[in-house]
């Protein structure tokens, strides 16, 4: 068990807290940060679409020439980093935190092909708490059923082979059990994760960033594995206003697990149930019904946000996507509603990858814009602060921070910039999402 002091003297609760660093925190150029955020959002949209296509084709297992089962697994994008230690004694590094990823993995020895990292590699042979995760293990069986693993018949090893659509990131190796250590000294024994012997790293994976901590709904994600031991199968986070990460010493956002993941009773809490998607069960889908701009519902075709029979559609909430992204049927009328409500001439924002931008003078106050509200089932309203959907994207551009995703098999995504200034709680026990406005640097 992991214990952390509660708010009341003498009280102890099960859970732990980590601080997340934004991957752009050392990038001082506002334009470059915006470009990077747009590019990562588009890659994440491609990853979600590619994952759906894999499910639709029912590529759960194929037999290779050696007779081994082989399954491709897509891992997610990343925006936030957490410190994590692997094994005993702990080898400490940083990992991408992603609610849209299926499991945990890190580079490890012996490494056949690895990208450069500035910290030591995790070596299971030197850990006193390491054990192999075999094919007949219950966790491996769950992963096999979910299409997240394959079984090497000759050795009974539980293997994985993960790729990430439209990027240079991949990891291939075998699953192990070992102790994971988090900030504040929280030790979680017997956690299953991928020991990557063959890896390629995209732009995020360099220096002391050695892998991914998946927080999705799959059986191998961190919350799925450790939630029961923490008393509550839930976690919460609170993303600081994007601009607070820059212009001084890097700041962090809190991520809380178990019984520490609670919202403030003195501030209004709103709750929605997750929407079920049998084709893409690892993502967190939320039940949006309509969008209002300036207090008026946008004319979006009925059924635009429904999860379709083939698994496409719906709206996902995701920590690993930067910007709010909407399918074209929703984006086009939304952008039109903002154009009609802003008495300025739009300018070209293609240099940073955004469609609707306005010219502003350096140092001047940004123009006022209509409000944006997402309406959910049960009369739940998600009312955006302006900085969550309009961004000062350079010294002279003020842009709608929304990306249009086009084509078949796409989903809308509530990205992390749209989530800033909210404390958001994921509760797997009740299959629900709760949120409230918050000063995230005081959570």
Q: Is 7 a catalytic residue?
A: no
Choice among 117-131, 206-220, 290-304 with the minimum mean pLDDT: 206-220
CB 148 within 8 A of CB 103: yes
Helix count and strand count (H, E) for the chain? 5, 32
Q: What is the pLDDT of residue 54?
A: 52
Question: How many domains in the chain?
Answer: 2
Residues 275, 231, single domain; the answer is no
Percent of the chain whose pLDDT exceeds 90: 54
CATH code, domain carrying 199: 2.40.70.10
Residue 143 lies in a domain: yes
Cα separation, 256 vs 440, in Å, equals 12
Give the mean model confidence (pLDDT) for residues 168-194: 89
Choice among 53-67, 124-138, 272-286, 345-359 with the minimum mean pLDDT: 53-67
User: How many Å from the N-terminal Cα to the C-terminal Cα in the chain?
Assistant: 23
Residues 273, 351, single domain; the answer is yes
Residues 33-76: tens digit of each pLDDT: 555 555 555 555 555 555 555 554 443 333 333 333 333 333 34
Residue 1 lies in a domain: no
Which range marks the domain in which residue 420 is found? 263-442
Residues 418, 272, single domain; the answer is yes
Residue 10 lies in a domain: no
Residues 256-298: tens digit of each pLDDT: 999 999 999 999 999 999 999 988 888 999 999 999 999 999 9
Cα separation, 222 vs 215, in Å, equals 6
Q: Is 161 a catalytic residue?
A: no
Q: What is the pLDDT of residue 381?
A: 97
Residue 254 lies in a domain: no
Residues 36, 169, single domain; the answer is yes
Choose, from 24, 98, 157, 178, the residue flagged as catalytic: 98
CB 212 within 8 A of CB 417: no
Residues 237-248: tens digit of each pLDDT: 999 987 766 666
Residues 382, 296, single domain; the answer is yes
Residues 331, 383, single domain; the answer is yes
Residues 233, 109, single domain; the answer is yes
Choose, from 24, 157, 178, 318, the residue flagged as catalytic: 318
Residue 147 lies in a domain: yes
Residues 220, 280, single domain; the answer is no
Residue 252 lies in a domain: no
| CA 359, chain centre distance (Å) | 32
- Cα–Cα nearest to 270, from 149, 98, 422: 422
Give the mean model confidence (pLDDT) for residues 344-359: 88
Q: What is the pLDDT of residue 79?
A: 75
CB 310 within 8 A of CB 381: no
Residue 8 lies in a domain: no
Residues 333, 380, single domain; the answer is yes
Confidence of residue 374 (pLDDT cuts 50, 70, 90): very high
Residues 241, 312, single domain; the answer is no
Residue 333 lies in a domain: yes
6 burial via Cβ count (<10 Å: 0-12, 13-18, 19+): middle
| Arithmetic mean of pLDDT over the chain | 83
Residues 152, 182, single domain; the answer is yes
- Cα–Cα nearest to 317, from 412, 410, 221: 412
246 burial via Cβ count (<10 Å: 0-12, 13-18, 19+): middle
Choice among 65-74, 367-376, 400-409 with the minimum mean pLDDT: 65-74
Give the mean model confidence (pLDDT) for residues 297-308: 95
Residues 394, 428, single domain; the answer is yes
Cα separation, 352 vs 103, in Å, equals 32
């Amino acid at each position: 068990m992991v214990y952390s002091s509660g708010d009341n003297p003498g009280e102890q609760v099960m859970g732990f807290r980590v601080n997340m660093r934004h991957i752009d925190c050392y990038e001082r150029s506002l334009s470059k940060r915006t470009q990077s955020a747009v590019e990562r959002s588009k890659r994440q949209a491609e990853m979600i679409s590619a994952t759906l296509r894999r499910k639709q084709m029912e590529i759960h297992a194929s037999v290779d020439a050696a007779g081994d089962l082989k399954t491709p697994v897509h891992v997610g994008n990343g925006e936030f980093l957490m410190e994590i230690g692997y094994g005993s004694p702990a080898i400490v590094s940083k990992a991408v935190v992603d609610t849209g990823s299926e499991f945990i993995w890190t580079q490890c020895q012996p490494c056949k092909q690895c990208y450069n990292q500035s910290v030591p590699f995790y070596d299971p042979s030197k850990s006193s708490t390491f054990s192999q995760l075999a094919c007949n293990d219950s966790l491996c069986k769950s992963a096999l059923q979910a299409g997240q693993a394959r079984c090497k018949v000759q050795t009974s090893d539980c293997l994985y082979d993960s790729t990430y659509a439209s990027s240079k990131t991949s990891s291939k190796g075998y699953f192990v059990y070992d102790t994971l250590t988090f900030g504040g000294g929280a030790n979680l024994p017997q956690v299953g994760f991928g020991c990557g012997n063959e890896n390629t790293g995209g732009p995020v994976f360099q220096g002391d960033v050695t892998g991914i901590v998946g927080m999705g709904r799959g059986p191998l994600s961190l919350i799925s594995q450790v939630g029961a031991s923490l008393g509550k199968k839930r976690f919460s986070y609170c993303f600081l206003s994007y601009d607070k990460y820059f212009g001084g010493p890097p700041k962090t956002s809190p991520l809380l697990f178990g019984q520490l993941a609670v919202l403030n009773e003195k501030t209004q809490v709103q709750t929605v149930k997750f929407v079920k998607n049998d084709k893409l069960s690892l993502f967190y889908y939320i039940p949006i019904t309509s969008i209002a701009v300036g207090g008026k519902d946008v004319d979006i075709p009925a059924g635009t946000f429904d999860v379709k029979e083939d698994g496409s559609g719906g709206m996902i909430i995701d920590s690993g996507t930067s910007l709010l992204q909407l399918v074209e049927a929703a984006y086009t009328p939304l952008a039109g509603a903002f154009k009609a409500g802003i008495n300025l001439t739009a300018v070209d924002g293609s240099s940073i990858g955004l469609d609707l931008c306005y010219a502003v003078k350096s140092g001047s106050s940004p123009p006022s814009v209509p409000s944006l509200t997402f309406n959910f089932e049960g009369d739940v309203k998600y009312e955006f602060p302006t900085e969550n959907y309009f961004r000062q994207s350079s010294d002279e551009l003020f842009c709608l921070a929304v990306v249009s995703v086009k084509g078949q098999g796409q989903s809308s995504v509530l990205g992390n910039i749209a989530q800033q200034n909210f404390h958001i709680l994921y509760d797997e026990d009740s299959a629900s999402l709760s949120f409230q406005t918050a000063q995230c640097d005081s959570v």
